[in-house]
């Protein structure tokens, strides 16, 4: 993936070593991409120091706070990015949140507040980040969002996040159609279940892991490294003909019926 050596990327959603975004940042750095890594601001300064140390191990990267629920935070991040990098070739959206009780409760009990929160942070943010990144992608770019099969099928205890991921995937397709003429490709990677901080908010997540292992074609769960490899492929010119797609990295779990 030689073309990646010339490129710059913004990778959002690094919370810790288990984050899918952390594996993506590692893999892109391995291929020579110049990195900006965005993390949700933490109140605990020790946690922030730990994150700084963790990302230093990947190599030099611009570490920037980002809260997608605060428009001024998004604006501040892109101001810095413009000043430091001048352009962005790759944008990775790896952000999601929902109220824990809205995930485990009954779908018919989802509150408007919880619904809007999940939509704003997990789906609308792709539109906002894309709008800000676009002027920095002159001549072309690649935008990749992380999604889950709960957008298309019912997954126990995924409820409000299923709606958010369905919206995220629709946003991805509409953005791909709009930005295609500017050589900006937009795709999504639908990962199988992986134990991360976000996943720990899903009730009975271990059952989901066991089901995916038992029912998937490969008869195993997938790793963050495998997701990161696919993101690197979508970021590189090797995937130049692919846009508006959701690529499954789930060991073939999605074909089970």
Ligand X SMILES: NC(=O)c1ccc[n+]([C@@H]2O[C@H](COP(=O)([O-])OP(=O)(O)OC[C@H]3O[C@@H](n4cnc5c(N)ncnc54)[C@H](O)[C@@H]3O)[C@@H](O)[C@H]2O)c1
Residues numbered 237 to 256 that lie near ligand X (CB under 6 A) are none
| Contacting residue, 9, 68, 92, 235, with ligand X by CB under 6 A | 68
Beta carbon nearer to ligand X, 66 or 160: 66
Residue 200, classified by CB atoms within 10 Å of its CB into exposed (0-12), middle (13-18) or buried (19+), is exposed
CA distance linking residue 31 with residue 56, whole number of Å: 16
Q: Does 123 bind ligand X (CB under 6 A)?
A: no
The least CB distance from residue 202 to ligand X, in Å, is 8
The least CB distance from residue 181 to ligand X, in Å, is 27
219 is catalytic: no
Q: Does 67 bind ligand X (CB under 6 A)?
A: yes
The least CB distance from residue 128 to ligand X, in Å, is 11
Residues with Cβ within 8 Å of 188's Cβ and at least 6 positions away in sequence, in order, are 144, 145, 146, 147, 168, 169, 172, 245, 246, 247
The least CB distance from residue 38 to ligand X, in Å, is 7
Q: Does 163 bind ligand X (CB under 6 A)?
A: no
The one catalytic residue among 50, 53, 165, 174: 165
Residues numbered 175 to 214 that lie near ligand X (CB under 6 A) are 191, 193-194, 196-199
Q: Does 20 bind ligand X (CB under 6 A)?
A: yes
Q: Answer yes or no: are the C-beta atoms of 77 and 38 closer than 8 Å.
A: yes
Q: Look-up: residue for tokens 């611009």?
A: 62
- Residue 159's CB is within 10 A of a number of other CB atoms, namely 25
Q: Answer yes or no: are the C-beta atoms of 192 and 175 closer than 8 Å.
A: no
Beta carbon nearer to ligand X, 46 or 181: 46
34 is catalytic: no
Is the dihedral angle over the CA atoms 82, 85, 91, 94 positive or is it negative?
A: negative
Beta carbon nearer to ligand X, 50 or 183: 50
Q: Choose the stretch contacting ligand X; rule: CB under 6 A; options: 29-37, 67-75, 105-113, 179-187.
A: 67-75
- Residue 242's CB is within 10 A of a number of other CB atoms, namely 14
Q: Choose the stretch contacting ligand X; rule: CB under 6 A; options: 18-26, 29-37, 176-184, 229-237.
A: 18-26
Closest CA to 19 of 60, 56, 55, 66: 55
Residue 65, classified by CB atoms within 10 Å of its CB into exposed (0-12), middle (13-18) or buried (19+), is middle
Q: Choose the stretch contacting ligand X; rule: CB under 6 A; options: 25-33, 94-102, 175-183, 214-222.
A: 94-102
Residues with Cβ within 8 Å of 169's Cβ and at least 6 positions away in sequence, in order, are 145, 147, 151, 188, 246
Catalytic residues: 158, 165
Given the rule CB under 6 A, which residues bind ligand X?
13-15, 19-21, 40, 66-69, 94-97, 121, 146-148, 191, 193-194, 196-199
């Amino acid at each position: 993936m030689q073309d990646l050596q010339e490129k710059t990327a913004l990778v959002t959603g690094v919370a810790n070593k288990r984050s899918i975004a952390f594996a993506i940042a590692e893999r892109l750095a391995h291929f020579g991409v110049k990195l900006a890594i965005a993390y949700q601001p933490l109140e605990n300064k020790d946690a922030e120091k730990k994150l700084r140390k963790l990302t230093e191990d990947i190599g030099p990267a611009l570490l920037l706070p980002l809260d997608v629920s605060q428009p001024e935070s998004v604006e501040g991040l892109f101001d810095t990015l413009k000043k430091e990098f001048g352009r962005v070739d790759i944008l990775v959206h790896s952000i999601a949140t929902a109220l824990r009780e809205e995930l485990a409760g009954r779908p018919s009990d989802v509150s408007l507040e919880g619904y809007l929160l999940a939509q704003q942070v997990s789906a609308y943010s792709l539109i906002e980040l894309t709008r800000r990144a676009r002027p920095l992608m002159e001549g072309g770019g690649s935008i990749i969002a992380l999604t889950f099969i709960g957008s298309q099928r019912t997954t126990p205890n995924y409820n409000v996040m299923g709606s958010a991921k369905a919206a995220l995937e629709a946003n991805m397709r509409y953005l791909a159609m709009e930005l295609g003429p500017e050589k900006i490709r937009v795709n999504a990677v639908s990962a199988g279940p992986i134990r991360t901080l976000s996943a720990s908010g899903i009730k009975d997540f271990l059952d989901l892991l066991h089901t995916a292992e038992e029912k998937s074609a490969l008869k195993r769960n997938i790793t963050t490294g495998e997701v990161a490899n696919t993101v690197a492929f979508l970021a590189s010119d090797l995937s130049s003909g692919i846009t508006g797609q959701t690529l499954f990295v789930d060991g073939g779990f999605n074909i089970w019926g």
